């Protein structure tokens, strides 16, 4: 398996990714962002600022895959999701 890593955050892998992973809306203009995956599993979500500092961590259930990001400043972030041992990361823009 090949992985690219920066600041301790896995940016991508070939085999260990979450199927049908999506984040919307992106860019975020409101208070919430919703995470979409194909499985109905619990999610571990971490959001990192551009310096690699963890600014938000939360656990989501299959019934609620929405994260409140109202406490984050405008900017570019990395959103890391772990579901059932698989990891996916996406750039998240907050306006």
The answer to whether residue 4 scores a pLDDT higher than 60 is no
Task: Please say whether the structural domain 3-94 has been given the CATH code 3.30.980.10.
Answer: no
Q: How far is CA 48 from the centre of its chain?
A: 9
Dump pLDDT digits (tens) for 43-58: 999 999 999 999 999 9
Residues 80/85/86/87 CA torsion (nearest 10 deg): 20
Q: Write down the H helix ranges in the chain.
A: none
Q: Mean pLDDT for the chain?
A: 89
Residue 34 exposed, middle or buried by CB count within 10 Å (0-12, 13-18, 19+): middle
First to last CA, the chain: 35
pLDDT reading at 69 higher than 90: yes
Predicted pLDDT of residue 8: 67
Domain boundaries, the chain: 3-94
* Res. 17 pLDDT band, cuts 50 70 90: confident
């Amino acid at each position: 398996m090949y992985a690219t890593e920066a600041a301790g955050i896995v940016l991508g892998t070939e085999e260990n990714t979450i199927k049908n992973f999506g984040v919307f809306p992106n860019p975020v203009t409101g208070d919430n962002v919703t995470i979409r995956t194909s499985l109905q599993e619990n999610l571990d979500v971490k959001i990192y600022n551009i310096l690699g500092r963890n600014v938000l961590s939360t656990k989501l259930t299959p019934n609620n895959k929405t994260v409140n990001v109202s406490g984050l400043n405008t900017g570019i972030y990395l959103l890391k999701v772990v579901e059932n041992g698989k990891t996916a990361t996406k750039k998240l823009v907050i306006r």
